Amino acid sequence: MMYEYLVQAISLVAEPCTLLTILVASIYGLFVGAIPGLTATMAAALLVPFTFFMEPLPAMAAIVAMEAMAIFAGDIPATLVRMPGTPSSAAYTDDCYALTKQGKAGQVLGVGVTCSAIGGLLGALSLMVAAPLLAECAMSFTSFEYFWLAVLGLSSAVVVSSGSMVKGAIALMLGLLISTVGIDITLGYPRFTFGNVELTGGINFIPAMIGLFGVSEVLRNVLHSEELQVATSEAPRHIFSGIATVVRRYKMGILRSSIIGVVIGILPGAGADIAAWIAYAVTKNASPEADKFGQGHIEPIVGATSANNAALGGAWVPALVFGIPGDSITAILIGVLMMKGLRPGPMIFEQQPVLLYAVYVTFILANILLIPLGYLAIRSSGMLLRVSKNYLLPIILLFSIVGSFAINNSLFDVGVMLVMGLLGFYLEANGVPVAPVVLGIVLGPIVEQNFMISVIKTHWSLWEFFTRPVSAVLCLGALLMWGYPLFSYFRKRKSSLSASG
């Protein structure tokens, strides 16, 4: 029966109209993903009016193709100009950019596109096979589990940050404090808004990210006037050279990261961006070359970029099975499905099996298409880099401004971008990493809200944080993440002591 559905599904997807939709949506996704400030979520929202006029399958296929492309495309500006195109690339932006400075932009992007495709395919497979099973497990997650999950993410920030732990912690605290600006969930009290209405909405994370990564990079560049006349770096070349070696060498890493990605994607409220962070930290903890991370090493890129694409497939699981979105894109997907009179839920598996299989087929097709289309995108992006910096920097700044503006159509956000740019510039000039600031802004609300919700639920009894089974496992995971570097540090120290003594 499954085979029958699959054949029917393939013939549905193979219709010229559907194929064309997939192609157009892919190109659209590549564009949007490559432009800082335009997230895949926003791209999906912009697709909605078009899906009004589409059949259900092309509408879903458009979203699938678009998101797969967009999440990879976010790596392109991250690598070339140190501006993550989507938040999902933020975790490993510094690694990519460091490699670009060594003239390896081509290889980075080649690895990026290949691993994204592999991660995406693994995500699609797990969506096909394990959807109902995995979703059932995720349904039992409550605020306790989300709290620990976010703590796990925060711990990864400190593990991820290169150099001084103290500086990483300061950066994280700054990010978390920034995230507390705005309306509080427990009483609806406006915090640190100083009477400003824009601030009641909090500090928007997209302009903050563009400022911290992109604008600070522009500022640092204009400080060195002697370099302004030269091009930023060589255009990406040798995109797929040595790719087989990298994939073979890190095949376990890719598998592990993809599994992490799928699991995080399935959890409602945590998507590709958090998957990338956690995969990065896990890769770092498991790697024998952890000291190279953050300074231009391919391994973390391999891990994190497979994870964020794998998360996409995962996020569809709870969306299809229970109508609970796994991330913000699937939230939009549910809206689109409802508009078509398809109510996601267990019933859809019985009523529309062919449609579901067609979605799986699209997922696989989109991830295969990612390789040639991604290649073309990388090649054309190279043009940008043959321009010398005194032309390029103002154009990057222009994109930063428009990108910050576009997410919420607010000039206030352009101001946020400027302030964050200056902050990032100063912090980096003194060796404080900016990545933890970004993570703090993302995870701050999740940590705080779930903590407050939990304690209000249990009348301030903290026991349930440790006694609920899944909670306990996640708590243990967080402890391990902290414990492992410390443990290996002491072991190294002990062995070096005994060697010298």
Partner 1 sequence: MFRNCRCIAWVLLLVLVFGVVGMVQAQKKYPSRPISLICPWAAGGGTDRVARMIAVLLEKELGQPVNVINRTGGGGAVGHSAGATAASNGYTITIGTVEIAMMHWMGLTPISYKDLRCVAQVNFDPAGVMVSSTSPWQTLEELHDAIRANPGSLKASGTAKGGIWDLARAGWMQTLGLPESAVAWVPSTGAATGLQELVAGGVDIVTASLPEGATLIDAGRVRPLAIMSDQRDPLFPDVPTLKDKGLDWALGAWRGIMVPAKTPDDIVAILEEALAKVVASDEYVEFMQNNGFGVVYRDSKAFSEFVAEQDAMFGKLMKDLGLTQ
Partner 2 sequence: MRIGELVIGGVAIALAVFVFILTLGFPQLPDGHPGPGLFPQLLAIILAIMGLVLIGQNLSKRDLSPGGEEKAEGREEWVNILWVIGVILCYMFISEIAGFMITAVVISWVLMLRLGAARLKGFVASMAAVLFVYWLFSQVLLVPLPLGVMGY
Q: Which residues bind partner 1 (CB under 8 A)?
A: 41-42, 44-45, 48-49, 52, 139-143, 182-183, 185-188, 190, 197-198, 200-202, 204, 268-269, 322-325, 328-329, 331-332, 334-335, 338-341, 343-347, 408-410, 449, 452-453, 456-457
Nearer to partner 1, 199 or 239 (CB): 199
Query: Please, what is the minimum distance in Å from the beta carbon of residue 45 to partner 1?
Result: 3
Q: Confirm or reject binding of residue 432 to partner 2 (CB under 8 A).
A: yes
Q: Give the one entry of partner 2, partner 1, none that residue 483 binds, where binding means its C-beta sits below a cut-off of 5 to 8 angstroms depending on kind.
A: none
DSSP-H helix ranges across 74-203? 75-81, 93-101, 105-138, 143-160, 165-179, 197-200
Q: Confirm or reject binding of residue 129 to partner 2 (CB under 8 A).
A: no
- Structure tokens belonging to residue 112: 């990026």
Amino acid at 181: V
Name the one range near partner 2 by CB under 8 A: 197-205, 316-324, 397-405, 467-475: 397-405
Q: CA 438 to CA 180: how far, in whole Å?
A: 13
Q: CA 86 to CA 112: how far, in whole Å?
A: 14
Q: Give the one entry of partner 2, partner 1, none that residue 340 binds, where binding means its C-beta sits below a cut-off of 5 to 8 angstroms depending on kind.
A: partner 1
Q: CA 36 to CA 75: how far, in whole Å?
A: 10
Residue 79 to residues 89, 202, 415: CA-CA distances in angstroms? 9, 29, 25
When binding is defined by CB under 8 A, the residue of 431, 461, 489, 495 that contacts partner 2 is 431
Name the one range near partner 2 by CB under 8 A: 113-121, 349-357, 414-422, 488-496: 414-422
- Structure tokens belonging to residue 382: 């190279």
Q: Confirm or reject binding of residue 130 to partner 2 (CB under 8 A).
A: no
Residue 140 CB neighbour total at 10 angstroms: 10
Residue 486 pairs in a beta bridge with none
Name the one range near partner 2 by CB under 8 A: 106-114, 313-321, 385-393, 484-492: 385-393
Residue 387 CB neighbour total at 10 angstroms: 13
Query: Please, what is the minimum distance in Å from the beta carbon of residue 57 to partner 2?
Result: 24
Binding mask 228-247 for partner 2 (x = CB under 8 A): xx------------------
Burial of 391 (0-12, 13-18, 19+ CB in 10 A): exposed
Binding mask 192-211 for partner 2 (x = CB under 8 A): x-------------------
**182 φ/ψ angles, rounded to the nearest 5 degrees:** 115, -170
The C-alpha angle 438, 439, 444, rounded to 5 degrees, equals 110
Give the DSSP H/E element, type plus range, for residue 183.
strand 182-183
Nearer to partner 1, 163 or 346 (CB): 346
DSSP-H helix ranges across 267-388? 272-286, 298-322, 328-339, 346-351, 353-385
The upper half-sphere exposure of residue 181, i.e. CA atoms within 13 Å in the direction of its Cβ, equals 22
Q: Confirm or reject binding of residue 254 to partner 2 (CB under 8 A).
A: no
Interacting residues of 280 by C-beta distance below 8 A, sequence separation 6+: 91, 92, 156, 160, 300, 303, 304, 307
Nearer to partner 2, 276 or 446 (CB): 446
Name the one range near partner 2 by CB under 8 A: 139-147, 248-256, 408-416, 462-470: 408-416
Q: Confirm or reject binding of residue 463 to partner 2 (CB under 8 A).
A: no
Name the one range near partner 2 by CB under 8 A: 16-24, 147-155, 224-232, 278-286: 224-232
Residue 83 to residues 200, 260, 333: CA-CA distances in angstroms? 27, 25, 27
Nearer to partner 2, 25 or 57 (CB): 25
Q: Confirm or reject binding of residue 390 to partner 2 (CB under 8 A).
A: yes
Query: Please, what is the minimum distance in Å from the beta carbon of residue 414 to partner 2?
Result: 5
Residues that bind partner 2 (CB under 8 A): 28, 31-32, 35, 38, 43, 46, 166-167, 169-170, 173-174, 176-177, 180, 184, 186-187, 189, 191-192, 215, 218-219, 222-225, 228-229, 387, 389-391, 393-395, 397-399, 401-402, 405-406, 409, 411, 414-415, 417-418, 422, 426-427, 429-432, 447-448, 451-452, 455-456, 460
